[in-house]
Structures are given as C-alpha cells and as structure tokens.
Homo-oligomer: A and B are copies of this chain.
Amino acid sequence: MEQSAQPIGVFDSGVGGLTVVRAVMERLPNEAVLYFGDTARVPYGVKSAATIRRYAREIVEFLVGEGVKLLIVACNSMAAVAGEEIRRAAGEVPVLDVLETGAQAAVATPGVRTVAVIGTSATVESGAYVHRIAQLAPEVRVVARACPLFVPLVEEGWVDHPVTEWVAREYLTPLVAEGIDVLVLGCTHYPLLKSVLTQVVGEGVTLVDSAVAVAEAAARLLAAEGLERQISTAPTHRFVVTDQPPRFHALAERFLARSLPKVEWVKMGD
C-alpha cells in the first residue's frame, strides 16, 4: 500500500485519547485512524516513569508494525515522560504529541503573559509542560496544578454536575488569582469539562485544547510531507484495545461523540 494510504496511529493509556481521534476525524475527514487504547493498564498517571516508558515502547512497536504513516501520542503522561523512547521506537515514522502541540498553541495565543497548565499528577510532576513552554517563550510565566479528580468525574459522567464545578473552583481558584490568560487542558479527558472550566476561570481566559491543536499540527505535517491520503472513498478506522471492561463502549462513545465500530482486542505485556 502507498504510504499516504496508511492510517494515522493515535495512542493513549485508555479511552481519553478518543477526544484526539474525534479532533483528527473532524480536521482530516479523509484520513484513516488506527487507535490504540491500553485499557488493560490504564491509568498511566499513577505509574512510575520507568513503567510508562516500557508501556509506550511496546505500543509504538505495535503501531509501527501495523504500518502507520504518522504517530500521535494522545496521552499527556506518556508525552511527558516517554518522549525520547517513543521517537526512538518510531524510527522513520514522524511523531506528534499533545504536550508539544499544546505548549506551542499556548505560547501562540495573542497577548499571552501567564499560562496555567492542568493535568494528572504524573504530567504535572514531570514538569514537562512548564519546561517546554519556558524553552519556547522564556518571557511567559507558567503555573501548573494537578487535578486528579477530573478524570474520575468525567468517567462518572458528572461533566456538568455542581460537585464538578466545586472541585474545579478548589483546583483553579489559586490559578485564577495568579492572573492567568491561557489555561492548557493537559489531559485528554478535560475537553469534556470545557463548559465548567470556562465558568470557573471566566471568558477572558483562553482554553487550549491539545486535541484540537495536535489535529491541526497533523494536518500541516501531512500536507508538508505529501502524506495526505489521495483515495476518495471513505476511510476505514480501527480501534484496538488491551481490555474491554464493563461500560467501555458507552464511555468510548461519549469521548468520540459518535458510535464506535467493532473493537479489536490485543494482548500486551502481561
């Protein structure tokens, strides 16, 4: 098969990366997506960096073996701690990740002075966003805060529940007090909380959705490398997971905002 006809590989520790798939499908409707969700080993956010690196390498080897033309790391925890391993395992295949594109989108916001990054404990404790934003725009001030309750609240479906707004106020009020003008959603679950987050931080703060940012970066990269799919028939998407727990389908469809085709199962690691 022509390289341009090959799918874009998108991977995450679980279902959260489907918000990236959704953004890619909207931005690049002619491209085929091969999604890999490591649902047997989710969540990565509470695991050690060494473990996350090992898992990331295994997934990349699988996707490269399937012939993907581009890899999108849709997991902030993996992007934060396993970027080097992923690019080494990817070989010739180009790699985009939500962390790099999110950091770039944050500093590209007109008039930006103070950026806040929110994410899982692993992502925030890695310091990767703060470090990268400081490299890209040393004059921009960056603050960060782990929001560990957001993922379970989204998975419980409480995306517009008053408890979620209260939790968001607890987490974000100290950031708002810093006078932030950009809030980076450094976790793929967080786009589902956009309306609550906007209520809490106010309309004046720009939300950076890494899913949208990475889909845009993918469109630019495919065009630049001449890797756009040339076939006009509708692309076939594939969804591969390492486990199918109860309620997987319902949750996946909430993230993807469309019905899910047949899901394939692969055994990995254990």
Contacts and interface: CB of A to CB of B under 8 A. Distances in A.
Contact of A152 (B51, B149, B246): B149
A48 B167 contact: no
A177 to B, nearest CB: 19
A120 B153 CA distance: 14
A46 interface: yes
Interface in A156-172: 156, 158, 162-163, 166-167, 170
Contacts of A166: 162-163, 166
- The secondary-structure label for the interface of chain A is loop
B41 A247 contact: no
Given A163-B163, A269-B269, A48 B170 contact: no
B269 A48 contact: no
Contacts of A163: 163, 166-167, 170
A27 interface: no
B148 A243 contact: no
Contacts of A40: 47, 51
Contact of A246 (B41, B48, B269): B48
- Chain A interface size, as a band, is 35 or more
A114 interface: no
A256 interface: no
Contacts of A268: 270
A81 to B, nearest CB: 11
A130 interface: no
Nearest to A158: B149
Contacts of A122: 245-246
A165 B155 CA distance: 20
Interface in A9-57: 40-43, 46-48, 51, 54-55
A121 interface: yes
Contacts of A195: none
Interface string A174-201: 0000000000000000000000000000
Interface string A253-266: 00000000000000
Interface of A: 40-43, 46-48, 51, 54-55, 58, 121-122, 125, 148-149, 151-153, 155-156, 158, 162-163, 166-167, 170, 243-247, 268-270
